[in-house]
């Protein structure tokens, strides 16, 4: 499967999952550049309210998908939405026989995901999501 097809599948599944929440934002868009996908949102019409909800990098040659940023606005926090989004992405990665790696996390999210069974990687501050990672 080619990188463009992988990106199309990722975007479709992410949007399908996030749609009820994205509708509550003032604005959102999908940015697709090279091997990178970003879901960008804004909570109001001010420039300062713009944020990257999720940034995903695909390395087709190494069979890896990276979640390089996952930031939820306040109204989406503490509902398990981030973990469920990771699960959606992990499911597709598994179907494609790719690994899913989360990078650039806060210390607390890193520790939380380790407690849920994500495995440490050779890269610092990176965790591999595996079948036994508790994402529900």
In a domain, 113, yes or no: no
Asked whether residue 81 is assigned to any structural domain, the reply reads yes
* Count of structural domains within the chain: 1
DSSP percent split of the chain into helix, strand, coil, nearest 5: 40, 30, 30
How many angstroms separate the CA atoms of 3 and 80, rounded? 29
Domain of residue 41, CATH code: 3.40.630
In-domain check, residue 96:
yes
Domain carrying residue 10 = 3-107
- pTM of the predicted structure, to 2 decimals: 0.93
Q: Does residue 114 fall inside a structural domain?
A: no
Q: What is the pLDDT of residues 19-78, one digit of tens each?
A: 999 999 999 999 999 999 999 999 999 988 899 999 999 999 999 999 999 999 989 999
Q: Decide if 75 is inside a domain.
A: yes
């Amino acid at each position: 499967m080619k990188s463009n097809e992988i990106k199309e599948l990722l975007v479709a599944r992410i949007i399908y999952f996030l749609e009820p929440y994205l509708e509550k934002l003032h604005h959102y868009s999908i940015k697709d550049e090279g091997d990178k996908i970003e879901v960008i949102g804004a909570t109001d019409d001010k420039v300062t309210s713009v944020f990257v909800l999720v940034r995903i990098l695909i390395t087709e040659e190494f069979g890896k998908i990276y979640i390089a940023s996952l930031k939820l606005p306040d109204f989406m926090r503490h509902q398990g939405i981030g973990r469920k989004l990771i699960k959606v992405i992990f499911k597709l990665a598994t179907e494609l026989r790719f690994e899913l790696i989360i990078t650039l996390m806060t210390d607390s999210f890193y520790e939380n995901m380790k407690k849920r069974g994500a495995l440490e990687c050779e890269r610092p501050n990176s965790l591999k999501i595996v079948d036994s990672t508790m994402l529900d």
